[in-house]
Structure 1
Amino acid sequence: MSPLEVARPTLDPSAHQPFTSVEEYILRCTDEIWVDRGVGLIDAAYYDPDVRIHGAFGTSVGLSSVIAGTTQSIASYPDEVGFGEDVVWEPRGEQSFISSHRVYSTGTNTGWTSYGPPSGRHFEKRALAHCLVKNGKIIEEWVVRDEHRLVVDLGHDPRQVARRFAERGDWRPLELGHLPEDPLCAGVSGERDPGANAGEDQRMLEMFDQLWNDRRHDRISDFYDRDVVLHTSRGRTLQGLRQVSTETLDVLAAFPDARQRILDVCIDEHPRRGQRAAVVWLLEGTYSGYDVYGPATGLPIQLLGASQFVLEGGRIVREFRVYDELALAIQIEQGRLQSTAVDS
């Protein structure tokens, strides 16, 4: 059996009801809420009443913040078009699945936003939404957006925005619960099929451990193709092993003691798109390195991120790496203000 013919575990149709496939469920429910503006479907059809949403500004529980945020976003960018670039998924038992939905959005800011009045400017940004769906309802979601790119596109100064949001105390720590000891067996989305994609998922974890935790960038060619393309924060596109290595080290230079933990992983085979992987990760350390986000504070940080990978011949040929540098800057500035208040 070829790699693209690997059979999935049986998934009951109730998992993605009322649609015929996981991909159709994710794409259709997104369009019905965002394109058709059926915001009420969040409550009426697609989200569990006690849904947990983990994002760059902390964890929320329930539908009220989801409905409010969706309503405000549509009003802020009424001509926004979100292109569903890919859906990477795996079963989580017979009635559940985890999906990583990569969306690239473009539009014009003609309404008020949390950043200020309408700018009339064009914007582009990428997001990754990692959703756990059971019996046709989203019960938990880990979502990250390139919000730094959006703020710059709208003409705002990210440092001024970070200061204003920090003064309001907008950032809160994530409430992730028990973190997985072995995400190959069970991540934050639940137990994986024991026979799923043996080998490829192990290589994903080894890559993160070697490059991010052990700083073994002499081994980067073991995991990435020579001509790899990396799409990363601030809307940047980089190519080649040296640039991928430098981008990773640039992140670590501000947090030199940081360690990365893998929260969830899934591998997906597709007859046209080939083999892809999706990983949710958490970077934890102290802001004790370079002054990328203002003077270093020495205070702890946590950065929620997600990546999708395209694999060929066992190596990564393309990575989409999404994390919210604006929320990171707000978190750091908020810690600085709180520390100053305590000292005074």
Structure 2
Amino acid sequence: MSQQQTAANTNASQADEAQQDGKVLQVERRDFTELVPNDRPRVQSMRGFDPVYTDIVDYIVRCTHRIWDERDVGLIYTHYTHNCVLYGVLGTMYDRESIVRETIQRIVELPDRRGMATSIVWRGDDVNGFYTSHMTHGTGRHTEYGIFGKPTGRTFVTRTIVDCMIVENKIYREWVARDNMAQLVQLGIDPHEYAATIAQRKFDAGEAVVEISENRRLLGQYPPETEPDLSLAHTELEAEVMRWLHHIFNKRMFGKIGEIYASNCQWHGPLMRELYGPAAVMQQTMRLVAMIPDCAYVPQHICSVESEEGGTKVAIRWVMDGHHLGYGSLGAPTGHKLVVMGFTHLHIRDGKIVDEWTLYDELSMLVQLKLGALHRAAA
């Protein structure tokens, strides 16, 4: 075995040991000052990372705070690659400078917003790279002109989940979902008017609507596949979660929810909905599928960590695509193509889901419908 391979195996082993020993930080039970300590020794191999970071959770919490709360936006130049791709629910950015510009604009418009980490699920090491799924609650007040127009002075609470791929202190790929619809509603802004403005801008820029007649749920006249593709799973629990999700979303066996959710489970969803019990979970799950009844649910990534609260936290990034063929919060069916990028964090104890945080942005779905209508009118 080469020296490079030996070093790689040693670093990976150190990372595994740190996680197993519970040395890597978890955010749920800690106040902020405990998450960004000044005198904590490094507990995880972090080759290429700035000395201030003691483990991967410290990195995510601390650099986010430094950039967004301490206003050191220029740290983006040392924490993102020049060609970082950021996939957002309303569009994609393909370079670091765009991320700098968008960050400055959001800080100026919402100067007292604070994003508080509520969960970080991660996987990886400093040799092969880290993958993190970072969930926050954002609170603030709309006090300045910006993308939301004239200041309303209203307060808001929203949820954001950001997935990052990181090597040697730099994020090179990122997926971001903000609950923009929840923020609009709380600020008293008409979602349809706001979505129409964004759609017109996209239409004028020549953004096309990609139509796909068949998705991965059904192949021709065959029924849904009995078993999902489990190649993304790293553990048996992750594989089991993927089976659950396939059973529910692609096979439409919603009764499974009653089997796998605890009787006292909580569901935290879009528009900051807070619901309780398997019946509520079932209704909200069916609510999304009912709007896109031909949808396919495709997991893009899954990872998990043992939780200090007991059990395991699992994070799934997923895509759902189909057509707006059903009634729901977006209005009467339009038939337009819909693609939903979503994130789900699950807390599983004793084989049951006790907490679910699911995030997708209904505003991005509404923008797609408005853009589809513009293209249909122009055809």
Give the TM interval when normalised to the shorter protein: 0.7 to 0.9
Shift of 1:299: 2.2
CA contact (8 A) 1:11 1:96 kept: no
> What residue in structure 2 maps to residue 112 of structure 1?
145
Alignment partner, residue 24 of structure 1: 58
Write out per-residue CA displacement over residues 126-174 of structure 1, whole angstroms, 9 at most, x where no aligned residue: 0000011111110101111111010111110111111121111177779
Q: Which amino acid aligns with 1:310?
A: H
- Structure 1's 173 and 100: CA in aligned 2 closer, same or farther, altered over 3 A? farther
Equivalents in 2 of 1:321, 1:33: separation in Å?
26
Whether the aligned pair in 2 keeps the contact of 1:59 and 1:173 (CA below 8 Å) is: no
C-alpha distance in 2 between matches for 1:218 and 1:86: 28
**1:200 paired to 2:237:** yes
Tell me, yes or no, if the aligned pair for 1:15 and 1:95 is still in contact at 8 Å. no
Distance 1:289 1:95 in 2: 43
1:129 correspondence with 2:162: yes
1:72 counterpart letter in structure 2: Q
1:169-184 maps to which residues of 2 (within 5 A)? 169=202, 184=230
What residue identity is the alignment partner of 1:168?
R
Matched AA of 1:336: A
Please identify which structure carries the higher strand content.
1
Counterpart of 1:306 (choices 313, 334, 343) is 343
- Cα distance in 2 for partners of 1:17, 1:220 equals 44
Alignment correspondent of 1:189: none
Aligned to 1:336: 373
Could you report, residue by residue, the CA deviation over 1:187-207 in whole angstroms, capped at 9, with x for unpaired residues? xxxxx7xxx4x2110111111
Checking the alignment, whether the CA contact within 8 Å between 2:44 and 2:55 is kept in structure 1 is no
Q: Which shifted more, 55-64 or 267-276?
A: 267-276
2: CA distance between counterparts of 1:173 and 1:227?
42
What aligned pairs does 1:156-195 form with structure 2 within 5 A after superposition? 156-169=189-202, 184-186=230-232
User: Unaligned regions of 5+ residues in structure 2, if any?
Assistant: 1-18, 24-42, 211-215, 217-227
- Give the SS at the match of 1:296: coil
Structure 1 segment 284-299 matched on structure 2, within 5 A: 284-290=321-327, 292-299=329-336
Alignment-derived partner of residue 108 in structure 2:
75
Matched AA of 1:269:
E
Amino acid paired to 1:233 = P
Q: Which residue of 1 aligns with 2:81?
A: 48
**Separation in 1, partners of 2:187, 2:208:** 25
Matched, 1:39 2:89: no
The secondary structure found in structure 1 opposite 2:255 is helix
Within 1, Cα distance between the matches of 2:278 and 2:45?
42
Q: Name structure 1 gaps, 5 residues minimum.
A: 187-191
Bigger drift between 246-255 and 12-21 goes to: 12-21
Distance change >3 Å, CA 311–CA 119, structure 1 → 2: same
Say if 1:125 and 1:149, in contact at 8 Å, map to a contact too: yes
2:93 alignment partner in structure 1: 60
Aligned partner of 2:299 among 262, 276, 279: 262
Quick check: 1:282–1:303 contact (8 Å CA) kept in 2? yes
Tell me which residue corresponds to 2:121: 88
Match of 2:287 among 244, 250, 255: 250
Output the amino acid matched with 1:334.
L
**Distance (whole Å) between structure 2 residues aligned to residue 128 and residue 327 of structure 1:** 15
2:301–2:316 Cα contact (<8 Å) kept: yes
Q: Secondary structure at the match of 2:73?
A: coil
Task: Read off the aligned partner of 1:166 and give its amino acid letter.
Answer: A
Q: Return closer, same or farther for 1:128/1:15 CA change in 2, 3 Å cut-off.
A: farther
2: distance between equivalents of 1:183 and 1:70?
37
| Correspondence list, 1:220-231, <5 A | 220-231=257-268
Aligned residues: percent identity?
Answer: 29
Counterpart code for 2:298: R
Counterpart of 1:270 in structure 2: which amino acid? S
Residues 57 and 80 of structure 1, relative CA distance in 2, 3 Å threshold? same
Helix, strand or coil: the match of 1:110?
coil
Give the stretch that moved more between structures: 11-20 or 252-261: 11-20
Give the distance between the partners of 1:59 and 1:250, measured in 2 at CA: 27
Is the partner of 2:378 in helix, strand or coil?
helix
What is the CA RMSD across the aligned residues, in angstroms? Answer: 2.5
1:103 counterpart (132, 136, 145): 136
Structure with more contact order per residue of length (Cα contacts < 8 Å, sep ≥ 6)? 1
Aligned residues: 323
In 2, the alpha carbon distance for the partners of 1:35 and 1:172 equals 37
Q: What is the TM-score normalised by the length of structure 1?
A: 0.87
